[in-house]
Amino acid sequence: QKEVEQDPGPLSVPEGAIVSLNCTYSNSAFQYFMWYRQYSRKGPELLMYTYSSGNKEDGRFTAQVDKSSKYISLFIRDSQPSDSATYLCAMSVGSNDYKLSFGAGTTVTVRA
Amino acid sequence: GAVVSQHPSRVICKSGTSVKIECRSLDFQATTMFWYRQFPKQSLMLMATSNEGSKATYEQGVEKDKFLINHASLTLSTLTVTSAHPEDSSFYICSAPFGSDTQYFGPGTRLTVL
């Protein structure tokens, strides 16, 4: 079993829809949770970063963490064609242990 | 956010030659940097941890003599792919921690070995 599980998709939605992305993890030591967006042939771009359980909102993006269930989510509201990319969840133990464990990435296409 | 750059963005080389890829943290210092490899439609695979002033730490299965890492300063790490072969063709990405617990990634280097 992988440490971090993420449905690779692909996921195709119409413009304006809500995109819901999820990851589950098995290592209860993970304390820091990140979502990265990666466009084709580019490096990952940090979208959201959370530490505690609960919701964190930034514009059209909401990151949700449920440590008791070992489950994290990213929601994209009012999706745009420019949101078409691969979304990677990542997590770390923290406390100066910077190694990230990644999900497989979910490829999202937003249709105009 | 913090900026990490990589150079070159693309490189094509002949089999048997060596290729050096640079990773720079542009507006912050990084005593640690990470090197990843990514195959098409796959997630990032950690190759090694680059440590300023000391030897790199390699992940299991990664050949130290094949992938030489040098972290010469607090803002620069280099990855040299020695005696490159077609199977080394891949997308190489570096990252640097910023703050306590998050990382910023470079734009990646696409290596093609003919």
Give the C-alpha separation, B35 to A64, whole Å.
Answer: 28
Among residues B29, B47, B30, which one has the least CA distance to residue B111? Answer: B47
Inspect the interface and report whether the beta carbons of A98 and B34 lie closer than 8 Å.
yes
Q: A23 is written with which tokens?
A: 């990851």
Structure tokens at A4: 């971090």
Q: pLDDT digits over A51-98, tens only?
A: 888 999 999 999 999 999 999 999 999 999 999 999 999 999 876 677
B65 touches chain A (CB under 8 A): no
Three-state DSSP class for residue B87: helix
CA distance A77 to chain B (A): 22
* Count of pairs with CB atoms under 8 A, one residue in A, one in B: 57
Contact A43 B107 (CB under 8 A): yes
Which pLDDT score, from 0 to 100, does residue B101 have?
67
User: What are the beta bridge partners of residue A86?
Assistant: A38, A107
Which pLDDT score is estimated for B100?
67
Does the pLDDT value for residue A47 go beyond 70? yes
- Contact status of B9 with chain A (Cβ, < 8 Å): no
| Interface touch B34/A99, C-beta < 8 Å | yes
Residue B64, pLDDT score: 94
Please give the mean pLDDT across all residues of chain A. Answer: 93
Chain B residue with the nearest C-alpha to that of A104: B43
Kindly give the confidence (pLDDT) of every residue in chain B, 114 residues in length, as a single tens digit, with 9 standing for 90 and above. 679 999 999 999 999 999 999 999 998 999 999 999 998 888 899 999 999 988 999 999 999 999 999 998 999 999 999 999 999 999 999 999 887 667 899 999 999 999
Q: Which residues of B touch A102 (CB under 8 A)?
A: 43-44
Q: Which residue in A98, A101, A106 has the most chain B C-beta atoms within 10 A of its own C-beta, making it the best mutation to test that interface?
A: A98
Does the beta-carbon distance from B93 to A43 stay under 8 Å?
Answer: yes
CA angle B34, A107, A37 (to 5 degrees): 45
Percent of the residues in chain A that have a pLDDT greater than 70, as a whole number: 97
Q: What is the mean pLDDT of residues A21-42?
A: 94
Give how far B66 is from chain A: nearest CA, Å. 22
Q: Judge contact between B11 and B27, C-beta under 8 A.
A: no
Q: State whether B101 and A41 contact (CB < 8 Å).
A: no
Q: Which residue of B has its CA nearest to A45?
A: B105
